[in-house]
Every structure is written in structure tokens, then in C-alpha cells.
Amino acid sequence: MAHEHKLEIFRGTLKFKSNITKIWGVFVILSIVTIVEVILGIAKPEVLTENRFLAMKLLNWIFIVLTIFKAYYITWDFMHMRDETKGMRRSVVWTAVFLICFLVLIVLLEGDYIYEVYKSNHVKFNF
Amino acid sequence: MDTTVEPTAKEEKIWDGGNRPLRASYGKLMMWFFIVSDALTFSGFLAAYGFSRFKFIDSWPIADEVFTHIPFIHGNFPMYYVAFMTFVLIFSSVTMVLAVDAGHQMKKNKVIFYMFLTIIGGLIFVGSQAWEWKTFIKGDYGAIETKGGRILQFLDNEGNRVALRDIATSSSQRDTHTRDNGIWYEGEEATLSTYTVDDIKAGFAANPDLLIRTQYLTEKGEMTVLSREESLNKLNNDAVAIVEGANLKHNEYGSPLFADFFFFITGFHGFHVFSGVLINIIVFFNVIIGTYERRGHYEMVEKVALYWHFVDLVWVFVFTFFYLV
């Protein structure tokens, strides 16, 4: 049966010999990323917790970027998104990405607004 | 080029559905539809969690002070067990995708073996999740709740946590009402705490080493520790209840909303894992009795694999937003 897989990851810089070696390769990448996350989560280097980018700690940005990195490889290689047609890929991924960005932006801004209201309110909430 | 099996592919005219621009079968497309909608459901939950967190950004519990336990071992191990659970789930994803690969090559025995490993991985994960819940509900050190529903925790002067049982010298808590010893009995009573607030106040006053920390975070993101005097004031003026463990109304680790979201999101995800295991088991037995061998393809394994990977994908996000960030 002609089940061909695209065997190149990292934009073609890493090419596996077979689908099975690719699966194990992706597993190794995901494991390394998870280990890095756990180490950073426990060590919490001060450089990363004290400096902020867009009101969020650098450490949290790193976690989020690494999570999206992992999500990409799970979807692309475990769920075989890499082998689907372009139309299929885009209709699944962009739909979710746009709606989620929209939701997260609005909801988080609103949460922060309510925090400010609580903080500068005449009613004291710490009792 | 395309890896999809097209079981129903017949020679059809283009306008009778013969055109397949996405080159995916009906079943797999429907699974993708479901996955997109389920992804939006989960992002709704996680966004709601983010909302509450931003709303209480200065008093939210610190996850690695909450989840510090490993089964059978005592001590303080932040996040190790959750990391283990993440590995179990990623590994079961690997065995699942190996099963799909074996299915493409029509190797029945390999499919059986890899699906078996996947099911075991799923069961280990669900079991670990149940254990996490049990530990979280049971609690560890215990805390005091104030009039405003805020949490006060206890420290010694070296900054180590002190449990309620080490503060109170004796317990004056009454017995739980039961039907057989009451004149007036109105039904089941909520579980009583081990100590009363007065026991803790007395024990706290007697030990000059003890301090209180509030759930409010300092600039560095640590919980605020009060001085001995402030601690005594806070405890004597504001304390109203004892909190041991966590439930939907009270949470010894901080904001009750944290516990609510923890139960809801990990519970919803755990239910997905559970149903994934059930579907995996059904497909597993179908592989064994040769259903897909006779059908000529293992597309059902691919579809359940999509669902299984999705569950893994969601966990990656839950892990980040609940435990790391």
C-alpha cells in the first residue's frame, strides 16, 4: 500500500530514514522539551522571573512558546497533519488559532480590568 | 503522497461527490471536526481559568507549592509527578502512532501489541490523576480561613510550613452528630475539622516561633509573610474557620476558584482520557478478532489515534497553564 510520509522535520534539516524512526525522533524532541520545562519550572532562574515582556514574565513566555512547539509536533507528526493536503491543514489549524486568540485576548484583558477595579476600589477586599 | 485510506472511494462523477479536494475519508474528516470543536471547548475552559487568574493575579496559589507529592515517598517534590504523568501520556501517544503505522502495513500482531501498550499508558495516567485528586482533596498542612474567605497559612521562623496538627496542643472539637445519639437530628452533617479555630489561636499564641503568611503575593511572586505581631492580630481578628484540604467551596492552598478550575479542567480532561481508553479497548478487541483485517484497512485505528493524540495535546496545554505558568 502506498502510504507515503514526509520524513523531514525542522524545515528539511533533519530527515529520517523511515516513518518509525521519525516517530521515535519526535518522541525524543518532545521529551527534551518537557525536561527543559520541568527544570526551568523548578529552578526558576531570577533573570527570567524578574524581566518582563508585554507584562508577562520571560519564564512564562518560554513555557508558552515551548508548549506551542510541542503542540506543533504532536499535530504534525503524530496526527499526520504534515501529510494532509494544504486545504485540510489550514481549515483545521487556522480556524482554531484565530478563534482561540480572539477568546484569550478578550477574556484576559477583561480579567485584568476587573483586577484593577478591585484594587483601586473604595471597598477593601482584604479582610 | 496521501496517507489516508479511502474505503468508500468509487468512481463517482465530480458533481455527485466524486471530487475529494481534502483527500481525506469521511470518518477522518468528521474526527477532525470533532477535534476542532473540542479544542475550542478546552480553550474556553483554559481561558476562563486565565480570566480568574488575572482577576486575582496578586493572590493566586503557586502551583509548585500545591502539587508536591509523589506516591509512597515523603518529602517535597514539586512537579515531578506531573512531569511523570506527562511522559506517560506522550509515550502512549508514541505507541498509538506506532500502532497506526503497523496498521498501514497490515501487521495485525504489531497493532495489537502497540494498542495494548497504549491502553496501559492511558490507565496509568487516569490512575495518577485520581491519586492527584485524592492528595489535593485531603490536603497537607491545613489553613485558616478569614472573614473575607482568604487563606492564612502557618510558618515557623525558618520559613518552613507548619501543619495545624503541630500548632494545636489539644482538640476541643465536638463529636459529629449521628442519628443514634441525638435527640434532634436533621440529617448528615458536613465533616467537622480536626481542630477548632480557638485551638489554633491558643496553640499559635503559645508558640512564639510561629508566623502567618497570607495568600497575597509579593513583588517577587512569593506569599507575604507577616511579622509576629501582625500575625497575632490577623489571627485573632479575622480567623473564622479551619480549612483542611480542598473542595469546591474551600481550599487550603488559596483561592477556592483554583480548586474549582482544577477539578473541572483536569476532571474534564481525565474523562476524555477515560473514554479514550474505552474506545481504545473496543478497537483493540476488534483488531484481535480480525474485523479490520477483513475490512482490508485499519482506518478505525487511525481515527481513534487522532482522538488519543488530541487528548495528549490538551494535556500539554493543561500542564503548562496549571502547573508551570
Query: Which residue has better confidence, A126 or B249?
Result: B249
Per residue in B291-308, pLDDT (tens digit) is: 999 999 999 999 999 999
- Lowest-pLDDT choice from A94-98, B177-181, B244-248, B269-273: B177-181
Q: Please say if the pLDDT value at position A11 is more than 80.
A: no
Contact present, B169 and B202 (Cβ < 8 Å): yes
For the purposes of burial, counting CB atoms within 10 Å of the CB of B252, is it exposed (0-12), middle (13-18) or buried (19 or more)?
Answer: buried
Q: Between vectors from CA B20 to CA B14 and to CA B25, what angle results, nearest 5°?
A: 130
Q: Say whether residue B304 is in contact with chain A using an 8 A CB cutoff.
A: no
Helix (H, G, I), strand (E, B) or coil at B161: strand
Complex prediction ipTM:
0.91
Interface probe, candidates A3, A60, A108, chain B, greatest B C-beta count within 10 A: A3
> In terms of Cα–Cα distance, which of B97, B50, B78, B62 is closest to A37?
B78
Percent of the residues in chain B that have a pLDDT greater than 70, as a whole number: 94
Residue A1: per-residue pLDDT: 37
Which positions 175-214 of B are in contact with A (Cβ < 8 Å)? none
Contact present, B93 and B309 (Cβ < 8 Å): yes
Per residue in B138-155, pLDDT (tens digit) is: 988 999 999 888 999 999
Q: What interhelical angle do B197-206 and B228-238 show, nearest 10?
A: 160
Write down all domains in chain B, each with its CATH number in brackets. Answer: 22-139+257-324 (1.20.120.80), 143-174+192-244 (no CATH)
Q: Say whether residue B285 is in contact with chain A using an 8 A CB cutoff.
A: no
Cell matching residue B52: 480568574
Per residue in B97-129, pLDDT (tens digit) is: 999 999 999 999 999 999 999 999 999 999 999
CA distance A13 to chain B (A): 20
Residue B185: per-residue pLDDT: 67
Per residue in B139-198, pLDDT (tens digit) is: 889 999 998 889 999 999 888 899 998 888 877 777 777 777 766 667 776 778 888 888
Contact present, B295 and B7 (Cβ < 8 Å): yes
Nearest CA in chain B to A84: B2
Q: Please say if the pLDDT value at position B3 is more than 90.
A: no
Residues of B in contact with A28 (CB under 8 A): none
Confidence of residue A2 (pLDDT cuts 50, 70, 90): very low
Contact present, B76 and B68 (Cβ < 8 Å): yes
Residues of A in contact with B57 (CB under 8 A): 112, 115
Any idea which residue has 477515560 for its cell?
B274
CB-CB under 8 Å, A84 with B309:
no
Query: Which residue has better confidence, B19 or B89?
Result: B89
Nearest to A3 among B52, B86, B104 (CB): B104
Helix (H, G, I), strand (E, B) or coil at B224: strand
Question: Can you tell me the distance from the alpha carbon of B277 to that of B115, in angstroms, rounded to the nearest whole number?
Answer: 10
Per residue in B191-228, pLDDT (tens digit) is: 788 888 889 999 999 999 999 999 998 887 788 999 99
Average pLDDT, chain B: 89
Residues of A in contact with B221 (CB under 8 A): 49
